[in-house]
Amino acid sequence: SWRSSLGPPCERPGERRGAEMKKLYGKDAPKIIAMETAMQLTFDRNCDLKKPKYWPVIPLKL
């Protein structure tokens, strides 16, 4: 699936990701999260809209 791997839904991924991001990016975490959220939203929306298929069908590099 092309959906981003944010973890199983039962784990409250938003919260877990927030803590992870804070550890990685410190005080800049909110800025990076905002940029990433916008980018992922565009990606998800484009995929929903355009229904792209993988090329090639089988990965070149296994």
Partner 1 sequence: SIPTSAASEADPEQLQQEQHARSVLRESFLRCLLSMNSKKVQFHMHEKVKLEATFGASDIDVLNFQVSDLHTPIGVQKEALIRCQDVISFTFDV
Residue numbers at the binding site for partner 1 (CB under 8 A): 2, 4-5, 20, 23-29, 31-32, 35-36, 39-40, 42-43, 46-47, 50-56, 59-61
Three-state secondary-structure class, residue 6: coil
Of 10 and 57, which has the nearer Cβ to partner 1?
A: 57
- What is the closest distance, in whole angstroms, from the C-beta atom of residue 10 to partner 1 in the complex? 18
Q: Which of 39, 38, 42 is nearest to 50 (CA)?
A: 42
Of 11 and 28, which has the nearer Cβ to partner 1?
A: 28
Q: CA–CA distance from 52 to each of 15, 23, 37 (Å)?
A: 30, 34, 21
